[in-house]
Every structure is written in C-alpha cells, then in structure tokens.
Structure 1
Amino acid sequence: MKQLYKNKELRSFLILWCSQAVSSFGTAMTNFALIIWAYKQQGTVSSITLLSVCSYLPSILFCFLAGTLADRWNKKKIMLICDFIAALGTFTVFILYITGSLRICHLYVINFSLSFMNAFQNPATYVAVSLITPKEYFIRVSGLQAFSNSLVTIITPAVATAVLAFGGIRMILMIDLFTFAIAFTALLFFIKIPVMTEDSNNKKESFLKNCCAGLSFLRKHTPIWKMILFFSFINLLASMAGNSIMPAMVLARTGDNQIALGMVSSSIGIGALVGSILVTAVKPFKSKTKVIFISCAVSFLLCDILWGIGQNVAIWMFAAFAGNLPLPFLSANLTTIMRMKVPIEMQGRVFSTRDTFQYITIPVGLFLGGYLADNIFEPFMLNISPIQQMLSKLVGTGRGSGMAVIYLITGTIGFLVSLWSAKDPTYKSLD
C-alpha cells in the first residue's frame, strides 16, 4: 500500500479518495443518527426501510438517462454540483431540526431529491476514477475504496453514539457539513480530471439512441449481461434482509440498546476492512468470476443465516464480521471486469444501464422486507402455531424473531444460487 501512496500517477485518485472518505464519514454519521431518530418516531421497520427506498429509487430510475449525460458532460462539474446539492440537503435537515420542525416525511423528500442527484454523480465518478487511474491499479484502487468504506462503517457507530450523547443530532449535522466542505474544496482545487473528447458518432446520434447504447452493448456481451441479472436477483434478497432491517432487529431484540446496534454495525465495517486490506495486498486471482460467486455464497452463509439463528450480540458481531469480509473481493473483481471490458468512452452509459438493471430490485426488496417484517413475519412469530414453534427452535421468540426468519430464508436461497452460478461456464470468458 505504501507503494501506491508514492506513485505520482495516483496522486489525483488518492486526493479524491481521501477527501470523499472524509465526506462519507460525515454523511454516515448523519444517516446513523437519523435512522435511530426515525425508529423512535414511528417504531416500525417500514419507517426505516422507506428511508432507504427513497435513497435508492430515483438514482436507479434516472441513472439510465443520466449515464448518457455523464459521458457527454464534464465529469468534475457534475461531481461538484451533486456534492453541493447534497450539502444543501443536510443544511435543510439542520434548519428543520433546530427549529423543531423536522418530520420523517421531510427526510423522505430530501432522500428522494439527493438520490436523484446520485443518478448523475455515480456514473460521473465511475468514469472519473477510470480516467485518473492506470489500468494496472484497478483492483488495488477498488480495494482502497472498499477499505475507506469499511473504515467509515467501523468508526461511524462509535463516534456517532458519542456525539449524540454529548452534542445531539445538531452536532452531527454540523460535522457532516464540515466534512463536505473538505471534499468540495479538494475536488475543486486539487484534483485534475482529464476532459474526454466526445465521439463524433455520439454527437450525430439522438439522445434516446445514445441512452440505449449502454443496453445494446450489454446485450451483445452475454456473460456481462447474465452477471448483471444474477446480481439483480441477489440484490433483491440482500435488500429484503441484510443491513436494511438489521438495525430494527437488533434494537427490537435488545430493548432498543443503541450500544448493541453500534457494536454490530462496527463489526460489519471491521470485516469489510480486513477484506479490503487483503484484496489490496494480495496478488489478483486468475479467475475473477469464481471469486465473485464464492464470495457471495460465503457472505450469505456466514452473515444472513447466522444473523437469523443467532440470538445475542456476540453471534451477530461474528456474523457481521465473517459475512462482510469476502465482499471487498466480490466488488473489486466485479468492478475490474467492468472497467476492463467496457471502452472508457462508453463507461458512463454502460455503468448506468448496469446500475438500472442490477439495482432496480433493491427498492422492491426494501419495501418487501419492511412490509413482511411488520405485517407477516413479526405477527406470525408472536402467535403460537406448529410452524411457529418449529421456527422458534432456530430463531427464538419475541420481538425481532420474525425478522430473523427473513434472514434465514434469504440467506439460504442466496447461498444456494451463488454456488450454482459459480459452476456456470458462461462466465469463463470474463476471466
């Protein structure tokens, strides 16, 4: 890793990476605090998952169109504008909170608006990183991004809990705005992103045809298209359970213990942190696709299934650590395949098309997870029946046991589907 820092070719990426990591930390603290605030206001799983739905849905629906604009427009300007609007969203929450006017419906609207801007920012960032990073560093750069994301996940619960105790949500929002200022200044003054010359063929084509170019590319490359559809299904399972209902389950099964939630959340980050260090340090594997599918299977087995059958903080912490350790290997190899196989002048459109199809199932899964938890599985596990008694031997009883059943179901299906896909010969050409 020291060699990466000494490499002048990576200077722009490293500045971008560090500054964005600082900003992500501020945003993560705000999200952590607002999830607890929302759960206390409503006391339902749906109140939390709906926040996530609003954070995902617009970026998924509009990124198909935004990717074309990201290929045409200046990447740096897009990122700066989107960052600025994100800061306005945080500032709005701050004003509403200090005036005593904040309501959960306001968070839905703000999350929806910020998600719309992410539709433009995500493809622009994808391409920007490709432009400022030499190809031989793609996997290691992905590992560094996973490293910072993991570190943020680790320290956010502890720091946010401490700040909440001494300064409240007001202080957390102020920290978020300060970290934004750091990232915005770094991007504006210290990062140079090469300006791409647009393909003359793209200029002649209509906007709609340009938007469809990403889909046409993917349909012609069957292995990539098939993997995108695979992860569309995996994301449905993961969003039904995963980290979306975990806060509600932990709070429900520990008597609203915020410290327990922080410990489990930090364990997620520690596992991903260790995995990101390993993926950055070790020699790249020959078969990237095998790594992707096996990592996915192991994650479902050790995280979701253990979260389902575990009934105490110690088991949840181990499951969070062990289940998230393989994920940096999955994301680094998947991102590298996409960057190597897709021409850079098409990456905005192709990545956006990928995101549309790969992530469209996430808001569906989030909605289903919240609905099934509140209206079906939680009530079912609170009423004695033969099936309930059988399931209670695995997941226990009381509040949160219905959510544990959801983890058990999604974990088992995800594990089996991932192992089956690892044997599919279609993906060999991607290696």
Structure 2
Amino acid sequence: MQSEIQRERRPHYMKTFISPITQSRDFTFLWLGQLLSVFGSSVTLVILPIIVYSLTGSTVIMGTVMALYMLPNVLVLAFSGIIVDRLNRVKVMMFTDIVRFIIMIAAMVLILTGALTIQILFLFVAVYGLMDGVFQPAYSALRAKVFVPKIRNAANALTQISNQGARLIGPAVGGLIVSTASSGIGFGLDALTYLFSFGCLIFLRHITMNRPETSAAPFHLKKDFTEGISVLKKHPWLWITILAFSFINICYGGATAVLVPWLLNVHYQFKPSAYGLAMTFSGIGAMAAALIFGSKDRWHHRGMIAYSGVLLSGLMLFSMAFISWKPFLVFIMAVEGFGIMFFGLIWETSLQELVPEEAFGRVASLDFLGSFALMPVGYLVIGWSADWLGQISAMILLSVLIILTVIAVLTVPSIRRFD
C-alpha cells in the first residue's frame, strides 16, 4: 500500500513536460507563433541557396549573401537590447514580424514574375538580418517573462523540442516545394508563418514589463550599454560563460558546419543521405536532451552538468576523426546533439533566473553578440586553416580546443558550484 501511495505522489514526467500548455495561455500563444516561424525559416534556409545559385551560380555571391545577413544582425545587437528594454517587447516583435512578412511577400511576387535580381535579394537579406537582430533579444526577454519558475524547465524544453522538430521537417518541405512548385511558393509559406506569429502576439499585448528607472530618461547609449554589462559582472556564471562561448562557438560551428560535411561527404565518401541522416540524429539527440531536462522542475549541480554536456559534444567531434563506420558516426552525432542541447537549456534557464526583467534585453543582446560577432571571421579562418593543416588535423584541433576550454572553465569554482 505504501509503495502504491508513493507511486501516486511521484510526479508524472509527461504531465510535467506539457504543464506549460495546460497552465499558461501566454506560453501557448508564444510557443505556437514562434514554432510556425521557425518552421518557415527552415523552409527558407533550403530555398535561399537554390535561388542564389539559379541567379548567379557563384559561391562567392552565396558567401556575400550570408555576410549581408550576418553583418546587420551583429551590428544591431549592440543597440537592440537597449531598444527592447525601453519599448514594449511584444510590439517590437510584432513590428519585426510585419517587416519580415512584407519582405517574404515581395520576394515571392518578384520570383513568380521573374523580376527578382541579386541586387534586390541583397537588400532583402540585409533588412531581414537587421530585423532578426532586433527580434531575438525581444523574444528572449518575453520568454523570461512568460516562462515563470513553475513551468520554466518544461517551457524551455518543450520550446526546444518543437523547434528541433520544425528544423527537421522544414528543409524536407522546402525541397519538396522547389521540386514540385516554385521557390516563390516557399517564400510565401514563410510569409504566412510570420503573419500567424503576428496574430499570436496580439493575444500577448496585455503583458507588461518592469521598466528600468532610466526608461523615462533621455536615451544615453553608453550608460544604458554599461548597465547591461554591470548585470553580467554580478554573476560570474554569466560573464565567464559568455566569454568562453565566444571562442567555443567558433570551434564548434567550424567543426559542425564546415568539417563534418567534408568528413562524411568527401573523406569517407558516403552518399549525401548519410550526412542528412547524421544531422537528423543530431536533432533527435537534442530532442531527447530536452525531453529529459523538461521532465524535472529543478536540476542541481547545473554548472557541472552544463559543461559536461559541452565536453561530451567535444569528445564526440574528436572521435569522428578516427571512426569510419557509418552507423557509429550517426550515433556519435546523436550524442553530440544531446550534449550541446543540455548545455543550451541550462544556460537559457539560468539567464531567466539571474537577469532582472528590466535589463534582460541588454543582457540577451550581449549574449547574442558574444556568440555570433566573431563567427563570420571564424568561418574564414577555419576554412583557411583546414586547407593549410589538413581537414582531419583541423577537426582534431578544433575538438581539442573545445575540450581544453571546458576544462579551463571548470577550474573556476563559481562555475563548478553553480547550482
């Protein structure tokens, strides 16, 4: 009888996992709107290179397109957090959704009429990147408000699982649209997802934010920016991790985006489907991590667990340079996705706990800035280094650098003891 009572009292994992949907109307609208947006963006991610190559056939132009997206995105991050903390975050998100909707509709019309030029596409991509740079801090700040402590772990986990699912399905849908219809239709589909997101945000207009004391004061860039930095300085877990990942992200991104495709497609000479399968299982591993993380309301020893996840991912990337058995390589990618996702979830929840609501936009901007500012240069350096050292040696070097950086960070007591 006692064991039956204990089983009844034991929390049901699935009930805990879906608790954000059952307990928070605000979460449901935010989750659904952004889930559709991620799906639409995943469709566009496949279609954009096809359009660029059909217009120019040039890898240089494709690189220019990506640079034109990243540059405004990174530059605006230095200011967007200040904007987000001074304005209504829901309205900021609604504005960026409408602008991106207009861009996608215009691109669809120009493609279907045969009037799209590479110069117009350059403009569209730059404005799109600018809007993403404003949207992301606003979305992060709104999540921190909506993901209240009672549902926080499950809300972050459910968001990540659904986003991973959308990123797995979106590319397949994008390829199908291009094959059976037109790339313009894919852009039109993406436009509709932004319109749907806008509609969901209408139901969140009632959400009010705590404002900093300086919000009514005249705009002062340096002061507002340094206030965001001062929040980070109060928490070694935050500023040390942001600094560490400004380097780890370069190594990790270079290994996964540049060298893993080369390893599977060129070095081991697998069919392209093998790379697709590996990336799919990386997503599945990430979804498994989110499911486990979201099944508990609270995790202890989070500093050790988070960086152990990064260490695990680094070890998996290191092993890929020495293993050529395809099934095991696919398994390795699943473990790699699991480890990095566990870190990401702990990082997101820690931001939501430690950062004051009135400064969240600025801190989120600094986080994104630290993560992405050096990425374009990093990709160029890694590509050059791989040609100079050899791709296998570069893969080993990058993974070892990830592992050594994690070990170095774990020597800091405040990181190890973060609970």
TM-score tier after normalising by the smaller chain length: 0.7 to 0.9
Q: Which residue of 1 aligns with 2:131?
A: 117
Distance in 1, matches of 2:320 and 2:109, equals 38
Question: What SS does the aligned partner of 1:136 have?
Answer: coil
Out of 165-174 and 139-148, give the one that drifted further.
165-174
Distance in 2, matches of 1:265 and 1:54, equals 26
Query: 2:65 aligned with 1:16, yes or no?
Result: no
Out of 261-270 and 121-130, give the one that drifted further.
261-270
Question: What SS does the aligned partner of 2:151 have?
Answer: helix
- Return the offset for 1:340: 1.3
Asked whether the 8 Å contact 2:107–2:184 carries over to 1, the reply is: no
Aligned letter for 2:208? V
Query: 2:213 aligned with 1:217, yes or no?
Result: no
Q: Structure 1 residues 84, 313: closer, same or farther in 2, change over 3 A?
A: farther
Asked whether the 8 Å contact 1:29–1:172 carries over to 2, the reply is: yes
Q: Which runs of 5+ in 2 are unaligned?
A: 1-13
Asked whether the 8 Å contact 1:128–1:193 carries over to 2, the reply is: no
Asked whether the 8 Å contact 1:71–1:346 carries over to 2, the reply is: yes
Query: 2:380 aligned with 1:367, yes or no?
Result: yes
- List aligned pairs for 1:155-194, cutoff 5 A: 155-188=169-202, 190-194=203-207
Distance in 2, matches of 1:7 and 1:268, equals 26
- List aligned pairs for 1:207-286, cutoff 5 A: 207-208=220-221, 209-243=223-257, 246=260, 259-282=273-296, 284-286=298-300
Q: Which residue of 2 aligns with 1:84?
A: 98
Aligned letter for 1:410? L
- List aligned pairs for 1:28-107, cutoff 5 A: 28-36=42-50, 38=52, 42=57, 44=59, 50-102=64-116, 107=121
- List aligned pairs for 1:415-426, cutoff 5 A: 415-426=403-414
Match 1:427 to one of 411, 415, 418: 415
Q: Which residue of 1 aligns with 2:342?
A: 329
Q: Which residue of 1 aligns with 2:155?
A: 141
Q: Structure 1 residues 242, 193: closer, same or farther in 2, change over 3 A?
A: farther
Asked whether the 8 Å contact 1:5–1:14 carries over to 2, the reply is: no
Distance in 2, matches of 1:296 and 1:204, equals 42
Distance in 2, matches of 1:180 and 1:206, equals 30
Aligned letter for 1:347? F
- Return the offset for 1:252: 5.3
Out of 84-93 and 322-331, give the one that drifted further.
84-93
Q: Could you give the per-residue CA deviations for residues 326-362 of structure 1, whole angstroms, max 9, x where no partner exists?
A: 2221111111111211111111122212322333222
Q: Structure 1 residues 315, 256: closer, same or farther in 2, change over 3 A?
A: closer
- Return the offset for 1:183: 1.9
- Return the offset for 1:253: 6.2
Asked whether the 8 Å contact 1:131–1:193 carries over to 2, the reply is: no
Distance in 1, matches of 2:119 and 2:195, equals 27
Q: Which runs of 5+ in 1 are unaligned?
A: 382-401
Asked whether the 8 Å contact 1:242–1:407 carries over to 2, the reply is: no
Q: Could you give the per-residue CA deviations for residues 54-73 of structure 1, whole angstroms, max 9, x where no partner exists?
A: 43332222222111110110
Q: Structure 1 residues 32, 334: closer, same or farther in 2, change over 3 A?
A: same
Question: What SS does the aligned partner of 2:300 have?
Answer: coil
Q: Could you give the per-residue CA deviations for residues 5-62 of structure 1, whole angstroms, max 9, x where no partner exists?
A: 4765421112211221112111101102323555675574x66555444433322222
Asked whether the 8 Å contact 1:163–1:172 carries over to 2, the reply is: yes
Q: Which residue of 2 aligns with 1:357?
A: 370
Q: Which residue of 1 aligns with 2:401?
A: 413
- Return the offset for 1:312: 7.1
Aligned letter for 2:394? I
Aligned letter for 1:416? L
Out of 26-35 and 72-81, give the one that drifted further.
26-35
Aligned letter for 1:56? M
Distance in 1, matches of 2:67 and 2:319, equals 25
Distance in 1, matches of 2:205 and 2:96, equals 17
Q: Structure 1 residues 333, 406: closer, same or farther in 2, change over 3 A?
A: same
Q: Could you give the per-residue CA deviations for residues 200-247 of structure 1, whole angstroms, max 9, x where no partner exists?
A: 344336422112210122234334211210111111212323235655
Match 2:211 to one of 192, 195, 198: 198
Aligned letter for 2:399? G
Q: Which residue of 2 aligns with 1:386?
A: none
Distance in 2, matches of 1:252 and 1:106, equals 35
Question: What SS does the aligned partner of 2:111 have?
Answer: helix
Asked whether the 8 Å contact 2:287–2:338 carries over to 1, the reply is: yes
Out of 116-125 and 166-175, give the one that drifted further.
166-175
Identity of aligned residues (%): 22
Distance in 1, matches of 2:377 and 2:194, equals 30
Q: Which residue of 1 aligns with 2:303?
A: 289
- Return the offset for 1:405: 4.3
- Return the offset for 1:133: 2.5
Give the RMSD, CA atoms, in angstroms.
3.0
Distance in 2, matches of 1:42 and 1:21, equals 32
